Structures are given as structure tokens and as C-alpha cells.
Structure 1
């Protein structure tokens, strides 16, 4: 009995410990189930197709939700406000619909998608901090990047390092806040070598003079290089380089009062723009046969380069 006494005394604590572990595992399993359900419900509220929201991870759901909330603020607080047009305010003209206008109603429901598909480019909205609040799904046609991947991400992660300062100036980001926004200054030698190695034959945008957002008009027009993962036709090779994008848009502002004064000023909120991709170099699209060779001449028709064959 004395030999069995220690074992008898230690067995109940082990049983209690196992019960506590099982209870802790059940509680953690219950918390994960509730958390997954909340994320699933939150993902269903996003303005995206169900086939996409059902495949999102938690980090993507949070990123897209934050971007959507910022976009609502961008829409409602800007000047002029877009909310009355979106919510059907009484000041807006209402179109009378009859029972025989079902086709028209269906078309109007998808009017935005039809307009985006008809554009020769893609639309995007970038906040003052340099993050994509919205980008149309047509970006995949021109750059091979997905709408879900870009929304909420920093624009500086997808443009050439040599164009970071250009983009920051166009957005009106102060120099002391550019590093926080993801804008990095690249030396001229490094940027030129990176441009040559990543995208041969692509013209580099002409650098512009520094801008002052308070002095210049809200209209914007500039060239940047954005990442592209498209496959070149006929070559079946994925070109992980950059494409030159022509950006035309307008800075959206909101009215604000100056501290200690009744004077109203316009604070920039971000950029609303349409992006066009420049056509690729035709030389890259020519199929080189065995009886052909490449040579280059200058403006005086003097041969500066010729292939060995």
C-alpha cells in the first residue's frame, strides 16, 4: 500500500491537467471558428465577386476592407462629393422605368463594367499616402496584375525605383513623408543600370522639375514605369520587367478651414487617373527567320551595329 500511495496521489492531477488541456483546445477551436465566421461574413460585404472573396486569406480581407472604408471617405468628403450620385439623392434626376425596360435596367446595373471594358487602359485611385484605394480589374489586361493584389498596396511597390520621386511629386507628398509612404530615392547610376537590365528598349520618362501642390492646377499628366508580368506574343516568355504608362488624371481635394482662421483651403486627398500603356517596340515583335539579320544605322545612314550572321 505504501508503494502504491504516491501513484495514487499523482494520478488525479494528471487527469485534471488533461481535462484542462482538452478544455483549452476546445476553447481555441471555438475562437477560431468564430473568427473564421466573422472574416467570412466580412469578406461577403466586399464589393467583389463571391468566387474571389471565398478564396481570400485574413490579411487580404483586412487590407481590402480598410481600402474600401478609405475609398468611401474619399468619395464622400471630396469636392464635389460623389455620394449623392451613388446613393440616389433627391437632387439627382431619376429615370422612370417601366415593365418593358428590363433590358435597359440590366444594362444600367453593369454600366460601370461596360465603361471600364471599353476604355483603352485602366482606372485607379491613389490616396495621398500613396496607396491604391481602387483599381479597375482591367489592369490585368495591360499589366498582368490582379485587382485584389494591388488594392490597398503601395503604388511605390509597383513602379520603377527611378520614378518614385516623380510619383511622390505628382501626389504632393512632402519630402519628409516620402520614406514613410514607401518612396525611395535611387542614385542616377543605379536607376539607369536597373532600367537597362530590366527593360531593354523601353524609353525612360523625362524627369520633371519639382512641383508645389499648392501652386499648380489639379490636372495631372505624366509617364511612369509600372511592373508587368504579361507574356510577349509569339515568344511565350514571361517578361518580368516594366511597362511605360501614360497617366492622366486629377487631384481630388476637400475643403478645410485653416487653424485660427475662417479662411477655407483645399487639401489634396489623392489622385483619380486613367492609365494608358504605350505600345511595345515593334522590333521585339518581329519573328527573326534564319535568313534575316539585324543592323542599326544613325541619322546619317551610317551603320553603327550589325549582327555577325
Structure 2
């Protein structure tokens, strides 16, 4: 573990190395033997610093000098955040719970169907769970210490900044966060890893909390679980229904399961907007979901209420994607295909307030 003396040693060495390098470049009095000695000292210091990092030996052997410095500084920040040396080592080894066995940790991460990430208030990735490579192709050590803005779509940066900020009301509470971003992925469609220059955008749903720190010198941070949005979905018996919509969210098709859930026949819904079936208080939630679809092509609505025929409502969550539709004519081979929205809606509750009518359509 890095103690106070080791921290000072790092900073003194960085200062000495920068000064000695400048002297070597500008002055001609330094001999080749002195240069060799400087490189030997440099290599020894980096080797000692690398051994102090709580990483697997197989990972440490492949770290270059900038990565060693980056991970050392990331470790120091994470240590100040957690204020417990035992927890720091467990986090660096990719464990979710410091007291959990490795097999328990693997089980937790499998159930999450995603990876964990700790973000500083500036967007620096202070920690990612070891299974991040399974979803992005980039390893834990390749990402830790870098800024999230370097790997996310420029159009999503403002949304990320708004989620990193804490209002006065949120500062002393665990403020919830739920947003969708596009991040670089080096995994091809066949699961093979490519280089970063050939990376594609993967849509992630990030859920978690913004947490303030007890210490005045430690800024607040975000603790998130990041889950890639699936391309396909499994319909869960009668509690799930699929639907297709035009880009203004009007139904163009709906499967028969909707009759047993909402009481409407598929034919009755065609041409109607999904906003007509949404509880008025949840319109903002659905609008945000709609905007994400336009900009990112995939989105998760979060929980909202859909009105049931006769009265009441059910809590649902919709997973949606923008896909190209069929061309109007097979003879027309040119031109862009029209777009449509494909939704899979999961019903999360039974009918609530069954005698309360909130719309004339009910």
C-alpha cells in the first residue's frame, strides 16, 4: 500500500525526472554513462511504483510508464474517496463487495448484466469493474484514470455534465441518476476486438446515485451501473407486448397481448399516439425517452404509467429502438428506407386505482 512517504517519493521523482530531462536536452556536459544511469534509475523507480499498485502480476507486466503514473494517481484518489486501504485493494481487483468471495462477485456482475463505474465530479473514471472488457472490449486498466468525455459521443457531453452536477437540494442526499449515453466499443458484431480507431458507438443505460463525500477536500462522485441496451428482447408471456410506432410515437402495429393488459384491441390503437395512453404526470419521462430515441437510436423509458380501459393504470417500462422500415415499393431500390420505432413494453404491476378514470379514452 502507498503510504505518505511513497506519495512524496512519487512527486519528488516526477520533479527530478522533468528537471533532469530538461538538463539533458539543453546541456551538452552530460555524458553517455550519466544518461544510462538516469535511465536505470528511472526504470527502477517505475518498477517499484508498479509493484506497489494493487493489480494482478499479469496486468502489471504489460503497463507502460504513462499508465503506471495514471493508475497510481487514480489509486490515490480512490483511496482518499473510500478512506479504507482494504477496500481499495478489493476494488482494484474488480470486486463489488470488499468482503465478498471472487465467485460471489462474478455472480453479482453477471446478474447486473453490465459493469460498475465510479465517476468523479469532473468525469474522470476512478474505477471500473473488471468485466468492462466483456461489454466494451477495453480493459479496466485502459480506462481507469481517463476522462469519460474522451470515450463518449460529443452530443452526449452536456447530458453527462448535467448528471455530474449536484444541486443544493441533492448535495446531502443520494441523488438518483438515470441516463443513456453512447460510448466507444472495440467489439465487433461477431465479438472480436478491434483497435480504438475502428471503435463503434455502444448505447449504455447508466443508473446509480450521486454521492457527496464526508471530507471537505474530496469532491462528490457518481456510483453507476452501466448496462448495454440489448438489440433483441424476450417476450415474457402475457406480461409483455411489442408494438411499432411512427417517429411521432403513433401506433402502426401492436401484438394481441395488449388486449389482456390494457383492454384495447390492436386495431383500436393503430393511429393513436402513445401519449394518449400515458399518465399526465409521466409525460416528461416519456418525452425524454422519445428525445433519446431521436438522438441515440436506442433508449429505455424508465417506469411510467399506461392507462387501462375502464379505469386505472399499470406501471410499465419500454425498451425501444429506431429501425429502418420496409420500402413502400419493391421496385424502388434507391432512396432511404423510412424509419420506425420498435418498442417492447414490460408490465411491472397489476391494475392500480381500477375505478379512477383519468381520460375520456378510458
For residues 1-309 of structure 1, what are the structure 2 equivalents within 5 Å? 24-76=31-83, 83=84, 86=87, 108=101, 111-113=104-106, 115-172=108-165, 213-216=167-170, 218-233=175-190, 240-255=199-214, 268-280=219-231, 299=252, 304-305=327-328
Preserved CA contact (<8 Å) 1:144 1:229: yes
Give the superposed CA RMSD.
3.7
Distance 1:305 1:214 in 2: 53
Question: Higher mean Cα deviation, 26-35 or 55-64?
Answer: 26-35
Counterpart position of 2:5: none
For residues 281 and 35 of structure 1, do their structure 2 counterparts lie closer, same or farther at Cα, with a shift above 3 Å needed?
Answer: same
**Is the partner of 1:52 in helix, strand or coil?**
helix
Distance 2:145 2:208 in 1: 19
State which structure, 1 or 2, has the greater radius of gyration over its C-alpha atoms. Answer: 1
Q: Using the TM superposition, give the Cα deviation of residue 255 of structure 1 relative to its aligned residue in structure 2, in angstroms.
A: 3.7
For residues 256 and 166 of structure 1, do their structure 2 counterparts lie closer, same or farther at Cα, with a shift above 3 Å needed?
Answer: same
The alignment's TM-score, normalised by the length of structure 2, stands at 0.49
Q: Using the TM superposition, give the Cα deviation of residue 36 of structure 1 relative to its aligned residue in structure 2, in angstroms.
A: 0.4
Preserved CA contact (<8 Å) 2:176 2:210: yes
Aligned residue pairs, count: 205
Q: Using the TM superposition, give the Cα deviation of residue 118 of structure 1 relative to its aligned residue in structure 2, in angstroms.
A: 4.7
The alignment's TM-score, normalised by the length of structure 1, stands at 0.57
Question: Higher mean Cα deviation, 23-32 or 156-165?
Answer: 23-32
Distance 2:45 2:120 in 1: 28
Question: Higher mean Cα deviation, 152-161 or 297-306?
Answer: 297-306
**Is the partner of 2:155 in helix, strand or coil?**
helix
Q: What do the CA deviations read for 1:210-266 (whole angstroms, capped 9, x no partner)?
A: xx6223451111111111111113999997321111111111212467xxxxxxxx9
Preserved CA contact (<8 Å) 1:117 1:138: no
